[in-house]
Amino acid sequence: MLNDSKIEVANMALKRPSMWLKTGICAIAIYVFAVSAFFASPSAQARELVTMEKSYPLGAIVIINSERRLYYSLGNGMALRYKVAIGKEGFSWAGESFVQSKRKNPGWSPPPAMRRRSPYLPVYMPPGPKNPLGVRAIYLGWSEYRIHGTIDPNSIGRAASSGCIRMLNSDVTDLYERVHIGAPVYVIR
């Protein structure tokens, strides 16, 4: 049964159609956002826009080993945060470097120390679905370490590598498109 207050609200709505339009648009936007978030790939959900306690230069990469997270600085204390795998015990490191080069579908030559530990490794592995660097590699300036994709997505979030920073292939592709040669890289314990 309609009471006076419901009739009054209905009359107001009829007099103000823009209210219905705004309400409808908001409802549709919320629905689209909720559905897209639900069906988004896990890797897309892994990337987050966050604020950082410390401000870093625009375009800098900051890796915090204890969090197993990589931050791409957007400036003004904002960053994109990605989940990563870091070096296993005895292989993780901290320091500063820079982006020396970038490669799509990189080949892989295991460093001599890695081949001594694992003699079955090939001298060179061409790009492809079995290449442990995944689909992109970002080479750092002063070491054999890289930020790269992976063929083992279950390693993300763990201390699992021989010192390189592993990312989901979709995340390293996203970072690859954003980061520039010469960008500073900070690796923090």
Catalytically annotated residues: 148, 164
Q: Which one, of 130, 164, 152, 147, lies nearest residue 82 by Cα?
A: 147
